[in-house]
Every structure is written in C-alpha cells, then in structure tokens.
Amino acid sequence: MIFREATEEDIDNYMIVRMAVKENVLNNQALVTRGDNVDYLTKYGKGWVCEIDNKIVGFSIVGLIQRNVWALFVLPKFEGVGIGLKLHDIMLNWYFSQTNEKIWLGTEQKTKAETFYKNRGWIQVGMHGDDEIKFEMTFNDWKKYNN
C-alpha cells in the first residue's frame, strides 16, 4: 500500500472509487465536477490517495477554507483493512497542522461511515441537509484521540 498526496492527474481514477461505493452513493457524477475536484486539491485544501499495485483504491480530500472533510472513500473490496483509517489520520493531521479551527463533515445515517466517524472521536452535532448527520472534530479532541 502506498499513501501519497493526490494530484489533478488522479481525479479520473479516484472518481472510479467514488462511483463504486455502496454507501453515501453519488447517483449523478455531474454533481461533483472535475472543476470541483481541481479546486479542492489546488485552492481549498488537499487530498490523498492509497494505491495498491498502481491502482487507486481509496482517497480523502479536505477543504481548509470550508473546514470540512469533502471526501473519504475506499473501494468496497478494500474496506476493513485500515485504508480509510490511514487516509483519515493523514488528512486530519495535515488539517490540524494548518489550523486550530474545528472541522465538520456530513454522512448518511445508519451507515458504516457513521460508525467509523463515531469510533474516531467525531461528535454528532445535528443534521446536514435532510438526510445526513453532521459531525464535528475540534483541535483539542483530535489531539486527545490522536495521542
């Protein structure tokens, strides 16, 4: 497994991962444009990928300006082996090395993702839209969790 910073050249390959997930499904790829991805990687924040045998099997993207986790996805057949956890930790370590501002994310209710975030110290603070749970992580909570 290789973890590295994502580049614009990775977008098409990590979007294959995004479209393959079974939870938090993106039904219309046009809702997340190439331009959105470029902006998150180059203007708003940063992203990372995990490769196995030169194939992207997971990725994460964080928006520093928006103070949010924009994406964290792993191909279903690679779930449960620590890829998501490693991408999560790389992303939050970078985020909190840049700012002490709390970060948020939204995810579907009653999913593996909801359990994943709760188990990593994220605090449910309400709803994001009509159908997603909103979680937050503070700098101090991350320091406690990450030590």
Walk me through the domains of the chain, giving residue ranges and CATH numbers. 2-146 (3.40.630.30)
pTM for the full model? Answer: 0.93
When comparing pLDDT for 13 and 130, which is higher? 13
Whether 122 and 85 have beta carbons less than 8 Å apart is answered as no
Q: How far apart are CA 91 and CA 73, in angstroms?
A: 12
Q: How far apart are CA 73 and CA 127, in angstroms?
A: 21
The answer, yes or no, to whether residue 120 has pLDDT greater than 90, is yes
40 band by pLDDT with thresholds 50, 70 and 90: very high
